[in-house]
Structure 1
């Protein structure tokens, strides 16, 4: 939210109350920090204490390396403010607090992170052992009373209007003033900001106004499906705003050397998260908000969709699966999109009897013939033409208006209602529909939508604040579906293919990028969205290979296939046209077969990285700066990425025959495709890339363990027939590569590469690991 007219003046009618002076500071009862009373005017004598807001500020450490700042105005409403973002849902906090005061400075030390508080003027400075990270200077914290007209923003068409708890007893009426709590943190010269969820605009967020408010806006606008109130900087810290509703973030946009954060209401809390590396920060952030769940190995194979508007008849489906199999483009998951249900009846959770007279037999035949898992499309909206709509109304399972009637509209389906997942009975009812589908042979669900959740003039069953629930709804939705699959199929076998999410939603993967066009520009948008998402605590990311809208020309299709199969999860999906490769020429099928087999061969490496995502919150697909924070050039790169720590992938975004450009960091890197080709970085590569290729480079000091060629699937025994490739390790160095079994989080063994002083390495495998081939790609002597 922007309150200023320039730097010195405020917008007309805006009234600020800045935190200026600490009038009392005491250690908290739990000794995890300090409780401050901060006046919003100078206090020189007792008379100055009469009237005017006083901010209650709690500065505390919930876990090692993390310090929180909670700013409260009116505290009475907070007991009724729900939902909250669940903290420490998977891993317990690590206590680490030391308090000290002296010379007018009060300090909190949590691991290597220190917060220093001064009394007059009131400031908070956050430091590491080597430097100041950021600070909140005088007047950086405030409450604002803002005329309603200034809250209307084109980004949300005014749909995110908040209620002023203090001055609006009748929320059905538009308030004259809206109350905001606001806080700013300093941006140092050269400091860059990333994250805030799946944002499709510029990867570096400096200069942007970002609304953390989920919307269904495609990949070509400022709106996003997965907004997350967390950002990470290239200055060794991240910031998590612990607020489930709309958070408005001005990243060097209102005040160019500050990040401003505003929420409507009476309370704002944020956490500074320190780390010596960006991955350390993500590890601490995901300890706070949750780690991605363990995924089954089969999910990393190729997903094929029927597409949105295309035919699902058995002849078409069997023809596609047979054709993919014959061309060595083996499909591991077959997806049925919306029209598996009868038109106008979404969601009925019932196969359209006109197209599927025997759905159980149909699914069984496909699974037996082609060895695929089955995914079907669902959403949380119930059309009034659905045969289960009356059932939902009678049970009170839908979000209601304040008069007790179901909230409905016509935008997506006729008179649809939205399932109220805060109602335990509604959750049980919805889960029962999923159970019936699992009984038919469904293995997973594409959990579409969940962004267009009403937030004015409605009520939730549990009394949740509709504004706070708007983003959180997506987490409740995906969590329910994920947990049904986990209950039915077992831990480590559940997966959803989700579009909407927010903080904490990373616990229920996988998430894909939503509706994109079939262009190079949209391909780049999808990558930026994925890199922003994985810089926000999400371990996995996917997208519609070839683009959703339109029919891609063969060139774009082939380039996107290469990028898609070097993503954590790979799905072929479109709107009005098929994405099977022979639709784009038989050459496309040969290209796809090459990359499908390569991904299968990389599974010992990829699945090991998936285990790291579950254990530490490290994403598989990661922006270059996450791996190379010391290299300033990487801080701006958003058209290439690292797949795990070892593989640099540079998708091609230019027409055939044009020069593709990408960056190689320091060291001697080896081509994944041609071990005789290497390059010494740092260097900008400029090359014309053939249509059948994608630049993939292996980082020096890597040991890659590949499965045998021709497995035809991603889930196989990773311990047999390994090809061990050793890349540019230093003489005397020993590198260990863990080999997962591919079954849950079990590590089957290891491969150890020991570099000798003769330019060669010895490779030793633990018991149970069978190595078929060792390739030594040079040792540094």
Structure 2
């Protein structure tokens, strides 16, 4: 059935569109009756006047012709049948709307009909007065990391009254397009396009969700208890791999290693390895402090940033391979810092071969980034990681996956996606490239995103991965 969609002007008597962080939000005044998507489930918590129905309204699509609200009416019960509609706008835009009941909830999907080119989608989810929400990020509030520990901050795990831009931020930044409600449902938006959530901030009666992209797909988990919602989400995206036992031991780290001629007390250095590595290990041993992992941060290679060509700076870290074996003999694994960019000769070659990320301007650090969607570029960068693995490095701190990543302009990566769509996916591509190559080298390997950003919900190697020699 084709449904005529009223124009924006006729539909809303008082409305205005404004932007926060480049994502359209809709602040609405008096309005006429809306079409609704109603999801009926006895597993929903009954709060206030809300019974066993989840009401989704203010569904809109934005194209180059502007914002249009979809006047649709769909009601689906759990274990019911699939419902589909086609909405036809007065400007010729056509959209297919589908709601599919599944075992643990409902799948909602908006797809444009051929010839229609949406750039953004939005839904409103009716919220009751005493409903709370949590999820999306590891921070207390969205924005700069330091905002989460500002003096006097009152925000807590309840996102009600907050807005969240769904895009990874510089520094420690773990974002996932998944939240849960005290009504017993959770919402997971599929894909990696940037989005925006408004939890009853501009509209106290609704959670407004807006996402960029040519189509929109989301899953509503309806299971009642918070633990069940989180478990269902984890099972769908995949639980994390169990790391080797040594990862859980004590770690020793320095921000920068220097090779000195004397130890801290003036004793001359006569050992064959980096003075500070030897000093750290021997002092911990002398005081009976266990050490399972030793972590070397950048700089550890030649070059202005200490990261040229995945080569070891022998002045800073003499006899490196022998040092790795010495550590292993003492039950200590070595972890190294790496980043998703080229330096040294590899940088020059990558730029000449077109292996770099499009749209990035030259800069001192984090440049040039690898286009991990290009198999040849990925392999070239991995060849540097292999050098370290073959010298016995047991794991990596993967850093800088979120800094200086272009996300604006007409540029496309090698696989044809826009850099805007890949912005959230980039840390995941980086981690998977490391994980995949580590699996091919015999031995027990571990990679961890110990610092930087990640976009959660997309495979478990986002967080960490490991492999024993001989594993399939």
Query: Are residues 75 and 203 of structure 1, via their aligned partners in 2, closer, same or farther at CA, if it must alter by over 3 Å?
Result: farther
Contact 1:228-1:502 at 8 Å conserved across structures: yes
Residue 75 (structure 1) shift: 4.7
Q: Counterpart in 2 of 1:185?
A: 125
Q: Counterpart in 2 of 1:277?
A: 225
- The secondary structure found in structure 1 opposite 2:201 is coil
Within 2, Cα distance between the matches of 1:743 and 1:358?
25
Within 1, Cα distance between the matches of 2:435 and 2:126?
40
Contact 2:396-2:446 at 8 Å conserved across structures: no
Residue 251 (structure 1) shift: 1.2
Contact 2:298-2:306 at 8 Å conserved across structures: no
Within 1, Cα distance between the matches of 2:470 and 2:228?
24
Query: Are residues 75 and 246 of structure 1, via their aligned partners in 2, closer, same or farther at CA, if it must alter by over 3 Å?
Result: farther
Q: Identify which of 286, 293, 303 aligns with 1:326.
A: 286
* 1:45-93 Cα deviation digits (max 9, x unpaired): xxxxx655443111114x520311112345557xxxxxxxxxxxxxxxx
Contact 2:335-2:394 at 8 Å conserved across structures: yes
Contact 2:454-2:462 at 8 Å conserved across structures: no
Residue 25 (structure 1) shift: 10
Within 2, Cα distance between the matches of 1:353 and 1:362?
12
Q: Identify which of 411, 416, 419 aligns with 1:463.
A: 416
Q: Counterpart in 2 of 1:476?
A: 429
Residue 266 (structure 1) shift: 3.7
Query: Are residues 486 and 66 of structure 1, via their aligned partners in 2, closer, same or farther at CA, if it must alter by over 3 Å?
Result: farther
TM alignment of 1:284-363, pairs within 5 A:
284-307=232-255, 309-311=256-258, 314-342=274-302, 343-363=304-324
- The secondary structure found in structure 1 opposite 2:446 is coil
Q: Counterpart in 1 of 2:456?
A: 503
Q: Counterpart in 2 of 1:241?
A: 189
Residue 231 (structure 1) shift: 0.7
Q: Identify which of 95, 99, 114 aligns with 1:59.
A: 99
Q: Identify which of 69, 72, 81 aligns with 1:21.
A: 72
Contact 2:94-2:113 at 8 Å conserved across structures: no
Residue 320 (structure 1) shift: 1.3
Within 2, Cα distance between the matches of 1:426 and 1:494?
23
- The secondary structure found in structure 1 opposite 2:334 is strand
Q: Counterpart in 1 of 2:82?
A: 33
Query: Are residues 20 and 229 of structure 1, via their aligned partners in 2, closer, same or farther at CA, if it must alter by over 3 Å?
Result: same
Residue 408 (structure 1) shift: 3.5
Q: Counterpart in 1 of 2:391?
A: 440
Within 2, Cα distance between the matches of 1:250 and 1:3?
8
- The secondary structure found in structure 1 opposite 2:441 is helix
Q: Identify which of 11, 15, 25 aligns with 1:3.
A: 25
Query: Are residues 357 and 395 of structure 1, via their aligned partners in 2, closer, same or farther at CA, if it must alter by over 3 Å?
Result: farther
- The secondary structure found in structure 2 opposite 1:204 is coil
- The secondary structure found in structure 1 opposite 2:429 is helix
TM alignment of 1:65-80, pairs within 5 A:
65-73=104-112, 75-76=114-115
Within 2, Cα distance between the matches of 1:320 and 1:194?
42
Query: Are residues 262 and 312 of structure 1, via their aligned partners in 2, closer, same or farther at CA, if it must alter by over 3 Å?
Result: farther
* 1:494-534 Cα deviation digits (max 9, x unpaired): 332343211334502647xxxxxxxxxxxxxxxxxxxxxxx
TM alignment of 1:108-187, pairs within 5 A:
179-187=119-127
Structure with the larger RCO, 1 or 2 (CA within 8 Å, 6+ apart): 2
TM alignment of 1:205-244, pairs within 5 A:
205-216=159-170, 218=171, 225-244=173-192
Q: Counterpart in 2 of 1:197?
A: 137
Residue 273 (structure 1) shift: 0.8
Please give the TM-score of this superposition, normalised by the length of structure 2: 0.73
Residue 471 (structure 1) shift: 0.7
Within 2, Cα distance between the matches of 1:418 and 1:495?
19
Q: Counterpart in 1 of 2:347?
A: 389
Query: Are residues 743 and 356 of structure 1, via their aligned partners in 2, closer, same or farther at CA, if it must alter by over 3 Å?
Result: closer
Contact 1:422-1:460 at 8 Å conserved across structures: yes
Residue 324 (structure 1) shift: 2.0
Query: Are residues 32 and 447 of structure 1, via their aligned partners in 2, closer, same or farther at CA, if it must alter by over 3 Å?
Result: farther
Contact 1:334-1:374 at 8 Å conserved across structures: yes
Within 1, Cα distance between the matches of 2:29 and 2:120?
19
Within 1, Cα distance between the matches of 2:81 and 2:284?
59
Query: Are residues 187 and 228 of structure 1, via their aligned partners in 2, closer, same or farther at CA, if it must alter by over 3 Å?
Result: same
- The secondary structure found in structure 2 opposite 1:285 is helix
TM alignment of 1:749-768, pairs within 5 A:
none
Within 2, Cα distance between the matches of 1:431 and 1:15?
44
- The secondary structure found in structure 2 opposite 1:287 is helix
Contact 1:244-1:469 at 8 Å conserved across structures: yes
* 1:393-413 Cα deviation digits (max 9, x unpaired): 233321235xxxxx4421525
Establish whether residue 454 from structure 1 lines up as the match of residue 403 from structure 2.
Answer: no
- The secondary structure found in structure 2 opposite 1:317 is helix
Contact 1:21-1:39 at 8 Å conserved across structures: no
Residue 272 (structure 1) shift: 0.4
Query: Are residues 7 and 227 of structure 1, via their aligned partners in 2, closer, same or farther at CA, if it must alter by over 3 Å?
Result: farther
Within 2, Cα distance between the matches of 1:310 and 1:297?
27
TM alignment of 1:76-95, pairs within 5 A:
76=115
Query: Are residues 325 and 256 of structure 1, via their aligned partners in 2, closer, same or farther at CA, if it must alter by over 3 Å?
Result: farther
Within 1, Cα distance between the matches of 2:279 and 2:445?
28
Q: Counterpart in 1 of 2:53?
A: none
Residue 275 (structure 1) shift: 2.3
Residue 352 (structure 1) shift: 1.3
Q: Counterpart in 2 of 1:520?
A: none
Within 2, Cα distance between the matches of 1:35 and 1:312?
68
Residue 226 (structure 1) shift: 2.2
In structure 1, runs of 5+ residues without a counterpart are: 41-49, 78-164, 167-178, 220-224, 402-406, 512-539, 541-741, 746-781
In structure 2, runs of 5+ residues without a counterpart are: 1-22, 32-57, 59-64, 142-155, 261-273
- The secondary structure found in structure 1 opposite 2:315 is coil
